[in-house]
Amino acid sequence: MTIGLLALFGWSLFSLHFLGVIATSISSSFLLSIFILYQLGQLCAQFVILAFTLTVRTRLHRRLEDVYIGKARCSTGFGCEPVSRFQHSETLLIVFFSVCTLAQIALLIASSVLCERISYKELLKAQAQREREEDEDALFADDGHDTALSTART
């Protein structure tokens, strides 16, 4: 199950960053906003995984100790080697997920700032385009009015 979670986590991070690279390379605020929503979903999934791991951890350790009590590598006075190995790998996994979650939060903040800047640039570009179109419409309206007056005079 842990390997499956890691594979799913790795695949989703790869696809998430691939979408982010595409969104930033074409400077699309729409794709970047979808990227941000996907990041929020990824963060929620990471928080659920961390919370689940932390709440089930002690119960799982007790069950493992019950299974390994009386086995050759599990003495009662010195602790159980398979359980301690599992606890160590589980701690590493929790640290890995925590670091990835912090990196994801930093990436979310950076993406939000970038999306805001791209949206502002697109807004300025759209306003300039509208002003140009209004100026062209005003010029054509004046030209049409002048030609109508000149033909009426003749």
Q: What stretch of H or E contains 77?
A: none
Tokens of 102: 């912090």
Looking at residue 78, what is its pLDDT?
63
Residue 32's contacts (CB-CB under 8 Å, 6 or more residues apart) are 20, 23, 24, 111, 114, 115, 118
Looking at residue 103, what is its pLDDT?
86
Look at residues 85, 86, 81, 9 and name the one whose alpha carbon lies nearest to residue 47: 9
Looking at residue 68, what is its pLDDT?
72
Looking at residue 129, what is its pLDDT?
92
Looking at residue 143, what is its pLDDT?
56
Give the pairing of strands 79-80 and 74-75: antiparallel
Helix axes 2-25, 81-153, angle to 10 degrees: 20
User: For residue 64, what are the domain limits?
Assistant: 2-153
The answer, as to whether pTM is greater than 0.75, is no
Sequence letter at residue 9? F
Looking at residue 151, what is its pLDDT?
53
As for how many domains the chain has, the answer is 1
Task: Report the C-alpha gap between 60 and 56 in whole angstroms.
Answer: 6
pLDDT digits (tens, 9 = 90+) for 98-133: 888 888 888 889 888 988 888 899 899 999 999 988
Give pLDDT < 50 ranges for the chain.
149
Tokens of 107: 């990436």
Contacts from 27-32 at CB under 8 Å and sequence distance 24+? 27/118, 27/121, 28/118, 29/115, 29/118, 29/119, 29/122, 32/111, 32/114, 32/115, 32/118
